[in-house]
Structure 1
Amino acid sequence: MSDHNPPDFEGLAEANPNLRHAGAVVDQAIEYMTKEHIDPISIASALLGGALGMLSGNLPRGAVLAVLDQARASVESGEMAELSHPPAKGHA
């Protein structure tokens, strides 16, 4: 467990238009697979596997492990559960 604050993903998205674009493409892919009745675990597993492959091919092992550690911390803190249930549109 680290005393570091979680990364500011919103600020990162604003700083990197490629990240916003990639996120939009992934959202469209998820929507498509959902409409094709692919089960959520299969969708998530495929996306996670693809993401790990991209990270492993472009970052040193220690950096990939740091990303995974941060992801685990986000799950443990409940942050990911909050993200899976975003507020209704028009509400902050």
Structure 2
Amino acid sequence: MSPTDRPDLSDFDQASPELRHAGAVVDQAIEYMLKEKIDPISVASALLGGALGMLSMNLDRDEVLAVLDQARASVSSGEMESISQPPAQGHA
């Protein structure tokens, strides 16, 4: 993959300070778990489970499904494959 294939990550700079902070905390948690030699699939599964729990506590079922449909579309389109490193300031 060439650098021109990479997605435009400039939107991450536009994320709210709260979202950027939450993303940075998640990035640190991931870094910590990987340093503790926790399997990356276990890390991802735990994060996904936690995210689904948070979504379910704050959105109704159809809204959670819409978020999952959007995530599925991102994976299907190949968008996720083109992002090899999260932005330094956290995920958005």
* Range into which the TM-score falls when normalised by the shorter chain: 0.7 to 0.9
Uncovered stretches (5+) of structure 1, i.e. residues with no partner: 1-8, 87-92
Give deviations 1:35-71, integer Å, cap 9, x for gaps.
0000000000000000000000001111100000000
> Identity, % of aligned pairs?
73
Q: Contact 1:13–1:19 at 8 Å: present in 2 too?
A: no
Displacement of 1:13: 6.1
Counterpart of 1:4 in structure 2 is none
Counterpart of 2:68 in structure 1 is 68
3-state secondary structure, aligned to 1:78? coil
d(CA) in 1 for partners of 2:58, 2:10? 22
Amino acid at match of 1:26: V
Structure 1 segment 9-20 matched on structure 2, within 5 A:
11=11, 14-20=14-20
Root-mean-square deviation (CA, aligned residues, Å) is: 2.0
The ranges of structure 1 where at least 4 consecutive aligned residues each deviate by more than 3 angstroms after the TM superposition are 9-13
User: Does 1 or 2 have the higher relative contact order (CA < 8 Å, sep 6+)?
Assistant: 2
Amino acid at match of 1:41: I
- Give the aligned length: 78
d(CA) in 1 for partners of 2:36, 2:64? 31
Amino acid at match of 1:17: P
Structure 1 segment 2-41 matched on structure 2, within 5 A:
11=11, 14-41=14-41
Uncovered stretches (5+) of structure 2, i.e. residues with no partner: 1-8, 86-92
Q: Contact 1:33–1:43 at 8 Å: present in 2 too?
A: yes
TM-score by length of 1: 0.77
